[in-house]
Structure 1
Amino acid sequence: MAMFLHAISGVLVILGMIAVGYVLAKRNWFDEASTKLIAKIVTQLALPCYMLSTIMTDFSTKELKALLPDLKFPVLSMSVLFVVSILVAHILHIRRNRQGLFESMFFISNTVFVGLAVNVALFGQKSLPYVLVYYMANTTFFWTLGVYLIGRDGGQRGHLNWRQTLKQIFSPPLLGFALAVVLVLLHVKLPPFLMADFGYIGGLTIPLSMIFIGISVANAGITHIRFNRYNLGVLFGRFLLAPALMSLLVLPSSMPVLMKQVFILQSAMPAMTNAPVVAKLYGADSDYAAIMVAETTILSLVVIPILILLMN
């Protein structure tokens, strides 16, 4: 019960920051340019600094070497979910110009804007490497298979810009994580003033991420949320099938309990924030993607405490 109450407290902290973004967006504090700027600050500046500060401060060479073999669990989970997403799309008769979006949102989750904040709020800094292991698999799937599927919806079948894809996979957050790991493995110590800078800038990551989500929810419009086969199918994949499958994979394993909890929570995060942006770029149904991001984000605030209760 104590863990459940802690989970509720952590979710309320997150909800408070989302509410700030939502209210300010409703009061017209943000236009499209400022919203993009917040996302850019988080992904290209604050998050890489957060990786460097936290990993170099809190983790040893031995701990980091033990992480990478467990990358197989999120890879296997998302591979199975992708196959299931195709079957579910067929069973629900998802129309062709939404199939790619439906499938990508079914098996790929929001591991940074929501996942990072949730896990750090619930489990503390020790959860960060586990979050990043899942992120490595998730971001690779989204910027390769996910983008291909969304592009197919927009009539760009078979088209994949590999230069752009590699740029998105090897993004600043992942490069920040990789640099921090290399420096720890090589026992390199950075000057204290530089580590302090990384710490201060990295501290922007979680509050700005949550404010961004609040803005996204406000822009999508809660009144547009619907429960039909297009929405319920994605909710089934995100909040029921994904955590159930991940639980089956990790619970019998010998990995640390915290890693199991982080992987299960990461698998049940909302739909990827980048999905509407990519959909708009490729001429797919960006409104549907935006509504699903908002809907899954809101419902995750109910699902997360339930998952915490079931894991304890």
Structure 2
Amino acid sequence: MQSFSDTTATRLDPLPGVIRAGGIQFIRVSGEDAVKFLHGQFTQAVQGLGDRTTLAGYCSPKGRLLALMRVWMEGPDVMLAMPAVMVEGFLKRLRMYVLRAKVIFTPVDPMPEVLLFVGEAGAEAAARLGLKLPAAGEVAREDGWTLLGLSEARAIAGFCAGGARTLAVVPAGAALPFEPAPDAWRTAAVIAAGMPQILPATREAFVPQHVNLELVGGVSFRKGCYPGQEVVSRVEHIGETNRRAAIGLLKADRTVEAGAPVYSAGDQAGTVVLSSRIGGETLILFSATLGSLIAGVSLEPAGEPLELIELPYRYRNILKDPA
């Protein structure tokens, strides 16, 4: 599976504000040691999360990302959301380290319907349901809905209207007064927000900085140890990483799989992270060397250069060059 679910769609005008978020699996982590255990495994803090939500990574001892997930609290339990295709391998590995900790991992079954609200149109649709969307990083609960405030997406013509994003868990039996757009638009909104994801083809392909994870709030350099922490911290302390994630637009309808190479000056310069094909064009999130982003990046050694789209945040070393 290339992305969370379907990644291809025809153009919609106007751009959708409510999108189906398919291919996601929730995992409930319960037990008296759940918070402490996960806090020691992930790149971002789980202790003290309260009514906030965060992106977090799970790394190998070499600092390579094995998975990315969204994290929030539901009562005493920790909730994780990640691509369904990643769950089996993720849980198999994580359970190896539980030892005597009192932790239980339960994939949510059946999965509730999940939507993504985007921009002004999304806020208007939510208002029709009597919902007020939370700010980025906040969790709200209204009339059985769970609303997770995400970071903003950049407006990209044909793909994303831009603006605030909210992941919404729909209560059972809720009637929707509109038809959400297909999942390809959700993938496009993820790319437009410059948000990374790890899929089977890119497992262990990146350290967090290579996909801008620390720039989107997915890494804490104060929380203490976790697998791969020494590598991740070393990359940050020595200075700017030599690879970053970027957004590229190809004005052609082409299937681009996660894990595919990208090129610059005829040589491989990086790797595709996510892609979305809409209306005969392809939007791509990829990780590549900083030099190649200046020289130009293509999907083939002598292919058409991708049009680079500005990220909704800037490259920086968050320890030496804070926002």
**Do the structures match in fold with TM over 0.5?**
no
The TM-score range, normalised by the shorter chain, is under 0.3
Select the structure that is richer in strand.
2
Q: Which has the higher contact order (CA 8 A, sep 6+)?
A: 1
How high is the TM-score relative to the length of structure 1?
0.27
How high is the TM-score relative to the length of structure 2?
0.26
